[in-house]
Chain A
Amino acid sequence: MATTIGHVEEVTLGGAEVHADTRSFVRKYIFSTDHKIIGIQFLIMSLIFLLLGGVLAMVIRWQLGFPKQPMPMGGVLPETMAPGGVVLPEFYNSLVTMHGTFMVFFAIMPLLVGVFGNYLIPLKIGAPDMAFPRINMASFWIAVPAGFLMLAGFFVEGGHAAAGWTSYAPLSERADLSGVSMGQILWCISLIVLGLSSILGSFNYITTIINMRAPGMWWFRLPLSIWSLFVTAILVLLAMPILSGAIIMLLFDQTIGTHFFGPAQGGQPLLWQHLFWFFGHPEVYILILPAMGMASDIIANGARKPIFGYTSMVLAILGIGVLGWGVWGHHMFMSGMNPTLGTQFMISTMLIAVPSAIKVFNWLGTMWMGNIRFHVPMLHAMAFVSMFTIGGLSGIFMAATPVDIYIHYTYFIVAHLHYVLFGGSLFAIFAAVTFWYPKMFGRMMSPFWGRVHFFLTFIFYNLVFFPMHNLGLHGHMRRIYDPTQYDFLKPVQPINELISISAFLLFATQLIFAVNFIVSWFKGAKAPENPWEDNGLEWTVPSPPPHGNFVTVPQVYRAPYEYSSPFVTEDFLPQNRELPEAAPSAAPHS
Chain B
Amino acid sequence: MAHAGALHDEDVMLPPPGREPGAGVYNEKLGMWVFLGSEIMFFTALIGTYIILRVAHPTAWKAPGEVLAVPITAINTFLLICSSVTMVKAFAAVQDGNLSGLRKWLIATVLIGSTFVGVQVYEYRHLIEKGFVPSEGLYGSTFYTMTGFHGFHVTIGVICLIFVTWRAFQGRYSAKDYRGVEVIGLYWHFVDLVWIILFTIVYLI
Contact = CB atoms under 8 A, between A and B. Distances in A.
Interface of A: 1, 3-6, 127-129, 131-132, 135, 199, 202-204, 206-207, 210-218, 237-242, 244-246, 248-249, 252-253, 256-260, 265-268, 271, 274-275, 548, 553, 556
Given A237-B37, A242-B44, A248 B145 contact: yes
B37 A212 contact: no
Given A241-B38, A241-B42, A127 B141 contact: no
Nearest to B45: A245
A497 B44 CA distance: 47
A217 B194 CA distance: 38
A206 B22 contact: no
A244 B42 contact: yes
Given A6-B3, A213-B20, A271 B37 contact: no
B45 A211 contact: no
Given A245-B45, A259-B141, A266-B60, A252 B134 contact: yes
Contacts of A127: 3, 19
B49 A249 contact: yes
Nearest to A216: B20
B137 interface: yes
Contact of A259 (B2, B28, B138): B138
B4 interface: yes
Contact of A213 (B19, B44, B56): B19
B57 to A, nearest CB: 4
Contact of B45 (A4, A216, A237, A242): A242
A203 B35 contact: yes
Contacts of B56: 266, 268
A403 to B, nearest CB: 30
Interface of B: 1-4, 6, 15-16, 18-20, 22-23, 27-28, 30-31, 34-35, 37-39, 41-46, 48-49, 52-53, 56-57, 60, 134-135, 137-138, 140-142, 144-145, 149
Contacts of B16: 211-212
The main secondary structure of chain B at its interface with chain A is helix
B144 A207 contact: no
Contact of B15 (A211, A217, A244, A258): A211
B19 A252 contact: no
B19 A214 contact: yes
Nearest to A260: B141
Contacts of B34: 203, 206-207, 237
B128 to A, nearest CB: 12
A248 B20 contact: no
Contacts of B49: 245, 249, 260, 271, 275
B2 A257 contact: no
25 contacts: A128-B3, A131-B27, A202-B38, A203-B34, A207-B27, A210-B23, A211-B16, A211-B23, A212-B22, A215-B18, A237-B38, A238-B37, A239-B41, A241-B38, A242-B45, A246-B45, A249-B145, A258-B144, A258-B145, A259-B137, A266-B60, A267-B53, A274-B52, A275-B48, A553-B1
> Lowest 6 A-B CB distances belong to which pairs?
A245-B45, A257-B135, A258-B141, A241-B42, A211-B22, A213-B20
Nearest to A279: B45
A127 B5 CA distance: 13
